[in-house]
Structure 1
């Protein structure tokens, strides 16, 4: 939701950084119009049971804050849940592409919760470190993916793991998809 609001240049309404200008009637009316539109978007994206409890909130900022209080988990709790989901996710007869997509969505959300500092001076040593770190992360994803595959993919899993250079997880998917029965 934040991405959609930022893309429409409306995120400031829900964060409270764009406030209503009470001194300028034209700006005030424009603010009210945008505020109502954002409330409408939010109400349209929540379930009916949630909507019933927030339908009378008339400030997008207050609405956003109320929803955050009710539904946001701390980063630690969210990271724990996502890691638990990741380790519990198994193929269980699903198509390779469905299984991979589920894993990928969890990996991406986890990555979004790990804020790394911005490096302004990239030396060869830092570059080497980042390359090594990236390779380790890719291998970790590959191992997680292969661990959750159904047993029928045991021979293909072994072949992938015996490669001199381990493949990217996407390459492993491409290798496994034609093997689906």
Structure 2
């Protein structure tokens, strides 16, 4: 997860948006409390989203979030787990940007590599909630 959390979460947001289920992880689709039928439907859909999330993870990671009661809880747990990793990643990327030199590279090659580092840094800040 440390190496691919950003890519994984972006892919999951796309997949969940396509399926109209992103609200289960971002908290905008809340469990209904007034009607039993609606609450049961919400539970089924939340379980479906939890299944998708867990199926997309490596076993050690999925085991660490299997206790979560909802898709939103899994999402927040993963976000918490990755936040520590993101700080370390950001430190390494910032150092790489600071130390990056053109040397004998062509300007286009130098700029492309530098822009890749900037994009990687920006992706850490652009992780969806």
TM over 0.5: yes
**Residue of structure 1 equivalent to 2:33:** 22
Q: Which has the higher contact order (CA 8 A, sep 6+)?
A: 2
Q: Segments of 4+ in structure 1 off by > 6 A?
A: 101-104
1:53 partnered with 2:64: yes
1:71 partnered with 2:77: no
User: For 1:131-170, what aligned pairs fall within 5 Å after superposition?
Assistant: none
User: For 1:29-40, what aligned pairs fall within 5 Å after superposition?
Assistant: 29-40=40-51
1:9 partnered with 2:20: yes
Report the alpha carbon displacement of residue 75 of structure 1 after superposing the two structures with TM.
Answer: 6.8
**Residue of structure 2 equivalent to 1:165:** none
CA RMSD of aligned residues (A): 3.4
User: For 1:104-115, what aligned pairs fall within 5 Å after superposition?
Assistant: 106-112=117-123
Report the alpha carbon displacement of residue 74 of structure 1 after superposing the two structures with TM.
Answer: 8.3
Alpha-carbon displacement from aligned partner over 1:115-144 (angstroms, at most 9, x marks no partner): 8xxxxxxxxxxxxxxxxxxxxxxxxxxxxx
1:83 partnered with 2:94: yes
CA–CA separation in structure 1 for the residues paired with 2:62 and 2:124: 28
Report the alpha carbon displacement of residue 10 of structure 1 after superposing the two structures with TM.
Answer: 1.9
* Cα gap change, 1:32 to 1:105, in 2 (>3 Å): farther
Q: Scaled by the length of structure 1, what TM-score is found?
A: 0.45
Q: Scaled by the length of structure 2, what TM-score is found?
A: 0.59
Residue ranges of structure 2 left out of the alignment (5+ in a row): 1-8, 101-111
